[in-house]
Structure 1
């Protein structure tokens, strides 16, 4: 799916998304597992930040400053309003460039919207943006391929390169796997935590 099209789809549901997730506990257990592996970091990157909320509050409590990326301008507006002390930008992770390194990077339920051909390059990019000793947590589907689903009266695209290929990319980029779990089994939802050696 073209990122600008994805952004407009999320623009339409941004307020609903915010109201559903701002105080949600969804993913918090998994996120706190990842935080427990981290040393006292400084900079965090949130890929597909949405409207902000629970994850950013956890990071803030741990002393991190957050840079958030999202292709939805409405999500970025909400995140900026919710967390004015952090930086949020309307950007596509596929094309976004920075010289910064981050101590903690997370992409919760976001990069599975990327075109299948962009999965490997983007995961590789996240590995390169991670500082030595940093923590990466992200979600993906355990079945290889691409599909669309109807959700919130719209069609959304999803893709995945599967568990083995994700793990191989992390290892090839100097990361060590700390945790991997199908956390919503029998749904095909996987999250992994890795650190840069």
Structure 2
């Protein structure tokens, strides 16, 4: 799916998304497990940050300066309004470049929307953006390939390189895998926590 089209789809549900997820517990246990693997403070990157909310509030409380990235302009506007002390960028992670490196990188339920051929390049980019001892957490589909599904009366695209290739890529990039879990069984949803050594 063209990232611009994906951004427009999320623009259409941005207000709903904000109401549903700002204070939800979804993903918090996984996020808190990841953030517990390093000392508080530093720079954090939230890829597919949406409207902000629960994750960014915790990062702020733990003295992280946050850069949030999202393909939806409406989501970014909401995130900036909700967290004016942090930096939010309307951009496609596939093309986004920065001189900054980060101590903590989060990509919760966002990378699975990438075009299939961009899965590995984007994951490599995130690994390269980690500082020494930096922690990466992201979710992905545990099945290999690509598909579309209906959600909110619209069609959304999903892709994944699967469990084995995600793990192999992280190891090849010099990261240690700290935790891997199929956390929503029988849904094909997995998350992984890794650290750069």
8 Å contact 1:106–1:137 — kept in the other structure?
Answer: yes
Structure 2: gaps spanning 5 or more residues:
none
Partner of 1:180: 180
Distance, in Å, in 2 between the alignment partners of 1:183 and 1:65 is: 28
Distance, in Å, in 2 between the alignment partners of 1:167 and 1:41 is: 27
Partner of 2:27: 27
Partner of 1:59: 59
Post-superposition offset of 1:41: 3.2
Partner of 1:156: 156
Q: Map 1:124-143 onto structure 2 (within 5 A).
A: 124-143=124-143
Other structure's SS at 1:37 match: coil
Distance, in Å, in 1 between the alignment partners of 2:17 and 2:33 is: 24
Partner of 1:117: 117
Distance, in Å, in 2 between the alignment partners of 1:38 and 1:137 is: 12
Partner of 2:99: 99
Partner of 1:50: 50
8 Å contact 1:41–1:104 — kept in the other structure?
Answer: no
Distance, in Å, in 1 between the alignment partners of 2:81 and 2:185 is: 35
Post-superposition offset of 1:38: 1.4
- Does 2:101 align with 1:75? no
Other structure's SS at 1:11 match: helix
Structure 1: gaps spanning 5 or more residues:
none
TM-score, normalization by structure 2: 0.99
Runs of 4+ residues over 4 Å off in structure 1: none
Post-superposition offset of 1:7: 0.3
| Cα deviation code 1:79-136 (max 9, x no counterpart) | 0000000000100000000111100000000010000000000000000000010000
Q: Map 1:9-20 onto structure 2 (within 5 A).
A: 9-20=9-20
Other structure's SS at 1:191 match: strand
| Cα deviation code 1:26-76 (max 9, x no counterpart) | 000000000110123310000000000000011111100100000000000
Distance, in Å, in 1 between the alignment partners of 2:196 and 2:189 is: 23
Distance, in Å, in 2 between the alignment partners of 1:66 and 1:80 is: 11
- The aligned length equals 197
8 Å contact 1:49–1:70 — kept in the other structure?
Answer: yes
